[in-house]
Amino acid sequence: MGRLDDRVIIVTGGAAGIGRAFAGGFVREGAKVVLADINGEQAERSAAELRAEGGEAMALTVDVSDQAQTEMMASETIAGFGKVDGLVNNAAIAIRVKHTRAPLEEIPLDEFDRMLAVNLKGVFLCCRAVLPAMKERGYGKIVNISSGTFFNGRENLVHYVASKGGVIAFTRVLARETGDAGVRVNSIAPGLTASETEEHDIEEFAARVPNRAIKRIEMPEDLVGAGIFFMSAESDFISGQTLVVDGGVAVH
């Protein structure tokens, strides 16, 4: 028996990196997963890998900043698996998407808009798409992926950090709005994670290690346990919370 037997969970940005790690962990615990990603070909390859391992997985091409595509994501999941139990809002403009790292006055306005459209509006749209089905059944688990940068005010990334801070605020409000409907909404804030990195990125990751209580580079697999916990019955009395998984940089 797995901790997520018979659960149907959508993972946005699930084709690779942290999202792919979540999907693999969920499948190993008995869940059926939907990998929703703007890179549909990679999502299908990852879904095929999970099926080859004996899991149930489907892939969808989804731009989370587009309302029609997020609604399609919800309807196709229900058509394929009959319900939606969980949603992990992981899709984001982050390490594997090129963006400006510079002071505020040097960040292009269109890049700021796109960052919030994906990282914050995308969370809003995906939640809106799945909530009617969750409320109808009186059950749902939503996990929004924020970032440890919110807690330390990482410089030269004001648009990224603002979007991820918005995710935490959104999580708190939605938890209150949906608690009576049986939906639990929480957030995970990763530290800098070695996800789909190039060789030259490793120096940056290594430079962060001395700031951690656990002195090693963070990997996508380090986040999977938190995701399983929030998707399982073990967290049924927890909502509106943010769990920082950064090896002990931000301590509370």
Catalytic machinery residues: 160
* Token duo for residue 3: 């901790």
- Alpha-carbon span 209 to 21, nearest angstrom: 22
Rounded to the nearest 10 degrees, the angle between the axes of helix 224-231 and helix 17-28 is: 50
Angle at alpha carbon of residue 86, lines to 152 and 120, rounded to 5° = 40
Query: What are the two backbone dihedrals, phi and then psi, of residue 173, each rounded to the nearest 5 degrees?
Result: -65, -45
Whether the CB-CB separation of 213 and 251 falls below 8 Å is answered with yes
Pairing of strands 8-12, 32-37: parallel
Pairing of strands 32-37, 56-61: parallel
Whether the CB-CB separation of 55 and 33 falls below 8 Å is answered with yes
Give residue 2's Cα distance to chain centre: 21
Give the up-direction half-sphere exposure of residue 2: CA atoms within 13 A in the CB hemisphere. Answer: 15
